[in-house]
Amino acid sequence: MKSIKEPKTPAIVQQMQWILNPVQTMETCVKKYGDIFQLKIGVGGQPLVYLSNPEAIQEILTKDNNEYNAPASPILKSMFGEKSMILLEGDRHRRERKLLMPPFHGDRMRNYGQLICNLTKQTAKELPIGEKFIARQLMQKITLQVILQAVFGLYDSPRLSEIKSILANFLELTASPLRSTIIFFPFLQHDLGPWSPWGRYQRKMQRLDELLYAEINERRGQLDPNRTDILTLMLLARDEEGQEMSNQEIRDELMTMLIAGHETTATALAWAVYWVHKQPEVYQKLTEELETLEKDVEPMTIFRLPYLTAVCQETLRIYPVGMLTFPRVPTKPVELQGYQLEAGTMINGCIYLTHRREDLYPEPNKFKPERFLERKFSPYEYLPFGGGSRRCLGMALANFEMRLVLATLMSHFEMELAENQPVKPQRRGLTLGPAGGVKMLMKGEYKQVEKKSPSVATV
Sign of CA dihedral 228, 233, 235, 237: positive
Q: What is the pLDDT of residue 49?
A: 94
Side-chain half-sphere CA neighbours of 193 within 13 A: 1
Helices (H) and strands (E) in the chain, counts: 20, 12
Residue 167 has pLDDT above 70, yes or no: yes
Work out whether strand 36-40 and strand 339-341 pair parallel, antiparallel, or are unpaired: unpaired
Are residues 437 and 137 in contact, defined by beta-carbon separation less than 8 angstroms? yes
Q: How far apart are CA 372 and CA 232, in angstroms?
A: 37
Residue 449 has pLDDT above 60, yes or no: no
Binned at pLDDT 50, 70 and 90, residue 91 comes out as low
- Predicted TM-score of the model (pTM): 0.88
Work out whether strand 132-134 and strand 439-445 pair parallel, antiparallel, or are unpaired: antiparallel
Q: Of 212, 221, 222, which is closest to residue 254 (Cα–Cα)?
A: 212
Q: Of 160, 87, 138, 149, which is closest to residue 116 (Cα–Cα)?
A: 149
Lowest mean pLDDT segment, chosen from 82-86, 125-129, 135-139, 162-166 = 82-86
SS3 346: strand
Mean of the pLDDT values across residues 404-420?
94
Are residues 133 and 141 in contact, defined by beta-carbon separation less than 8 angstroms? no
Total Cβ atoms within 10 A of residue 54? 22
Residue 456 has pLDDT above 50, yes or no: no
Q: Which residues of 242-255 are buried (b: 16+ CB within 10 A; e: fewer)?
A: eeebeeebbbbbbb
Q: Of 15, 80, 47, which is closest to residue 256 (Cα–Cα)?
A: 80
Q: What is the pLDDT of residue 455?
A: 47
Q: How far apart are CA 399 and CA 453, in angstroms?
A: 25
Q: How far apart are CA 183 and CA 179, in angstroms?
A: 9
Whether domain 11-445 has CATH 1.10.630.10: the reply is: yes
DSSP symbol at 148: I
Lowest mean pLDDT segment, chosen from 167-171, 215-219, 232-236 = 167-171
Considering only residues 373 and 253, tell me which one the structure prediction assigns the higher pLDDT: 373
Q: What is the pLDDT of residue 369?
A: 97
Which stretches does DSSP call E strand in 403-438?
Answer: 413-417, 425-428, 431-434
Total Cβ atoms within 10 A of residue 396? 16
Lowest mean pLDDT segment, chosen from 190-199, 300-309, 346-355, 403-412 = 190-199
Q: What is the mean pLDDT of the chain?
A: 84
Residue 116 has pLDDT above 70, yes or no: yes
Binned at pLDDT 50, 70 and 90, residue 453 comes out as very low
Considering only residues 182 and 318, tell me which one the structure prediction assigns the higher pLDDT: 318
Rg of the chain over Cα atoms, rounded to whole angstroms, equals 22
Beta bridge partners of 300: none
Q: Of 344, 326, 325, 324, which is closest to residue 334 (Cα–Cα)?
A: 344
> Residues of the chain with pLDDT > 90: what percent?
42
Mean of the pLDDT values across residues 133-161?
85
Which stretches does DSSP call E strand in 52-115?
Answer: 68-69
